[in-house]
Amino acid sequence: MIIKEYQVKKLFKKEGIPLLKGQVAYMPHEAEQVAEAIGGSAWVVKAQVSADGRSSAHFANQKESGPTGICWANSPQMVAALSEQMLGHRLMTNDTPDGHIVQRVYVEEACFGQAEYRLSLRVNFLTQQLSLSVYTAGNIMRQYELPEYKLTTERINTIVSHLRLSGKKAKEMKDLLRHLMNLFQQYQAVAVEFDPVWETEKGLVVLDGRIIFNDDALFRVPELKALRELEAGQERQMIARRHQFRYTKFNGNIACLVNGIGLSQATVDLIHQNGGRVACLLDVGTEPSRDAVARALKLALSDPGVDGVFVNIFGGVTRCDIIVQGLLSAAGEILAGLPIVVRMDGTNANIGRRLLFESRLPFTVVKGMGEGIKEIIRQVKGVS
């Protein structure tokens, strides 16, 4: 789970991290009032979306010369005008082809100083350890592995001496490093970053940052669930989460309902390699309930972009008969007429296939994954 800047800053503020003055706004006039309340002579207006690269991203409805996701303003009226151009519009960031609709802006006092550091503490999936990266001006990086899952005083002193800091600045850096580790442990994060940290007349200030949460650890920090917002265009992901399956969106027209991540990705590969295009991947995992399977199928069939569904199940702990019971309980939607091709092997596959046959619903049951891929691609061509 990734949250937005204004939410991250709330958590940073609670931790006592030095930040600039700022506040979230939902309407242009509100943004103007925020700017006036903050005071000063310049402000920054920042589109609140959960994506990186906002300062170089443009809005879908505007020219290249128009505003980007982060803009400078030198009057409260300009803050309002920029907010007007952002709110309700689609910011085209690189992470998704659809971009993100901006529902809020964050208005912050402008900062005069220099970008100095970037601190990043994350689970490193390559080394299978915790690693801390410290970037200095010019994007020079030094990486520290933390196998003990701790950031000791000794380690902090080493980092600060590598940065050649002393006096007040050294103390501020030590505090920032401790805050970084506190946040990481407290929220069981995948990554916490202070990016960038600026040197200002008031000392080191964190201008922006991100926290990536581990979905599997959210039960330990229930207060984070409240930060999960319903975003325009993200409704399907929300439904999937609620019913405990994984939903990944692609750009094509074939929905794939599969058990397990390995088989899921192999299925996506095969569809692409055979000239098909995947609309979405519904990974129901190892031990799905009937309800999860039913919800997943309904989600696929209710998507206007989907022209057909390929169900690819290899049962181990997963029981094929349970999968079929789930599929059949979405029967009302199945009658809507989109092709559904089912491949099913492994635990209780014979019972599953028999149940499908007896239902007299228009499933196409195939033998093997390769045949299933060819069949769904053929049937979908007939639809569109």
Partner 1 sequence: MFQLPTKMTPILLQGITTEMGAVHVERALAYGGNIVAGTSRDRSVKLYADIPVFGSVKEAVRKTNPAISVVFSTPARALQDTEEAIRARIPTVICTTEHVPLHDILKMINLARKYQVTLIGPSSPGIVRVGECLAGSIPAHLFPKGNIGLIGRSSSLIYESVQQLAEVGLGVSTCLSLGASPLVGTSFASVFDSFLADKETRALLVIGQLTGDFELGLAEAYRKSHRKKPLVVYIPGQTIQGALHIPLLGTESAIPEKIIAEKKAALEKAGCIWISNATELGRTVYNQLKSV
Residues at the interface with partner 1 (CB under 8 A): 2, 94-95, 122-126, 128-130, 147-149, 185, 188, 190-191, 212, 214, 216-217, 219-220, 248, 258-270, 272-273, 285-286, 313-318, 345-347, 368-370, 373
- The overall longest dimension of the chain from CA atoms, in Å, is 79
CA angle (91, 95, 99) in 5-degree steps: 25
291's tokens: 């309800």
Q: How far apart are CA 334 and CA 346, in angstroms?
A: 24
66 vs 147 by CB, closer to partner 1: 147
83 vs 179 by CB, closer to partner 1: 179
268 vs 356 by CB, closer to partner 1: 268
Least distance (Å) between residue 196 CB and partner 1:
15
41 vs 128 by CB, closer to partner 1: 128
Placement of tokens 């390769």 in the chain: 370
254 vs 373 by CB, closer to partner 1: 373
42 vs 217 by CB, closer to partner 1: 217
How far, in Å, are 267, 301, 337, 344 from residue 372 at the CA level? 10, 18, 18, 10
- 83-113: b (≥16 Cβ within 10 Å) or e: bbbbbebbbbbeeeeebbbbbbbbbbbebee
Rounded to a whole number of angstroms, the distance between the first and last alpha carbons of the chain is: 35
33 vs 185 by CB, closer to partner 1: 185
Least distance (Å) between residue 378 CB and partner 1:
16
Q: How far apart are CA 97 and CA 4, in angstroms?
A: 19
Least distance (Å) between residue 124 CB and partner 1:
6
110 vs 123 by CB, closer to partner 1: 123
User: 179, 15 in Cβ contact below 8 A?
Assistant: yes
- 237-254: b (≥16 Cβ within 10 Å) or e: bebbbebebbbbbbebbb
Least distance (Å) between residue 270 CB and partner 1:
6
Least distance (Å) between residue 219 CB and partner 1:
7
- Strands, sheet with 105-109, edge to edge from the N-terminal-most edge strand: 22-25, 105-109, 43-47, 70-73
Sign of torsion over alpha carbons 260, 265, 266, 270: positive
Least distance (Å) between residue 102 CB and partner 1:
20
The pair phi, psi for residue 252, each rounded to 5°, is -95, -150
Q: How far apart are CA 254 and CA 272, in angstroms?
A: 10
331's tokens: 């029967």
CA angle (351, 357, 360) in 5-degree steps: 140
Least distance (Å) between residue 199 CB and partner 1:
24
Least distance (Å) between residue 184 CB and partner 1:
9
User: 358, 328 in Cβ contact below 8 A?
Assistant: no
User: 306, 338 in Cβ contact below 8 A?
Assistant: yes
2 vs 207 by CB, closer to partner 1: 2
